[in-house]
Amino acid sequence: MAGSPALHREPYARTALDADAVRDAYRRWARVYDDVFGGVSAAGRNRAVAAANALPGRRVLEVGVGTGLALPRYAPEKRVVGIDLSRDMLARAQERVRTERLRNVVGLVEMDAERMAFADASFDIAVAMFTATVVPDARRLFAEMRRVVRPGGDLLFVNHFRAEKGMRWWAERTLAPLSRVLGWHPDFAITDLLDDPRAAAEITECPPFGLFTLVRVPNLAVA
């Protein structure tokens, strides 16, 4: 279509998410989340945990732990704390920890990722899988993860970032007004999370079809 480029550049207002909308959405998703999203998100989730396992440091924070799909894949020597805003999702994670006897999972806590109760530098690594699109303010999420990870540690993100053109771009923009119902932003850009994506140490596309991206950001000490 001749008009597509102009349409692509047309600004639009993003549907706002808030904590209540996220809680409501994931109350609905909790029972079916693993069946609906477990398969398609597996490759990105597995790569994020493998990256965390390969990094130095034992103290791992998983932000947006959800139903705990990733928890069995952490190396036994890692000591993992998971947080989530959804009590319903956490209940599923707690059941997984019990049934699979995951002794290296040392805490699962209901907590707002934008206002964490942890002290500064409490962790060596923080991992957020499919979480940046869910929180109301991804920049605050990033700032809080930086705060609770020690200088020299690492931040890991796996997320869907919006396409810049083509059918995927069209689908993402079409779904964007449904953000409050879905519980995430389909039209989320990497620049919504990072001021400068070049600050990332690694950006790796993940299957299927590059739908998800793994981003590693070193937590550099602030001068």
**Domain-embedded: residue 181:** yes
In a domain? residue 4: no
Higher pLDDT, 40 or 16: 40
Give me the pLDDT at residue 180, please: 42
Q: Is the pLDDT of residue 2 over 70?
A: no
Can you tell me the mean pLDDT for 113-120?
97
Residue 105 clears pLDDT 50, i.e. is over it: yes
DSSP 103: T
If you average pLDDT over residues 103-130, what whole number do you get? 97
Number of domains observed in the structure of the chain: 1
- What integer pLDDT is reported at residue 3 of this predicted model? 35
Is residue 77 assigned to a domain?
no
* Helix, strand, or coil (residue 105): strand
Give kind and range of the element (H or E) at residue 114.
none
- Between residues 155 and 201, which one has the greater pLDDT? 155
* 81 found inside a domain: no
**Which of 18-22, 70-74, 184-188, 212-216 is predicted least confidently?**
184-188
Residue 26 is predicted with a pLDDT of 56
Q: What is the pTM of this model?
A: 0.77
Residue 43 is assigned to a structural domain of this protein: yes
pLDDT bucket at 24, cuts 50 / 70 / 90: low
Residue 36: CB atoms within 10 A of its CB come to 11
Q: How far, in Å, CA of 76 to CA of 68, rounded?
A: 16
Q: Is residue 105 part of a domain?
A: yes
Domain-located, residue 79: no
Q: What is the residue range of 186's domain?
A: 19-71+86-218
155, part of any domain: yes
Residue 134's nearest CA partner among 9, 6, 3, 25 is: 25
CATH number at residue 134: 3.40.50.150
Q: What pLDDT does 212 receive? A: 83
pLDDT at position 162: 61
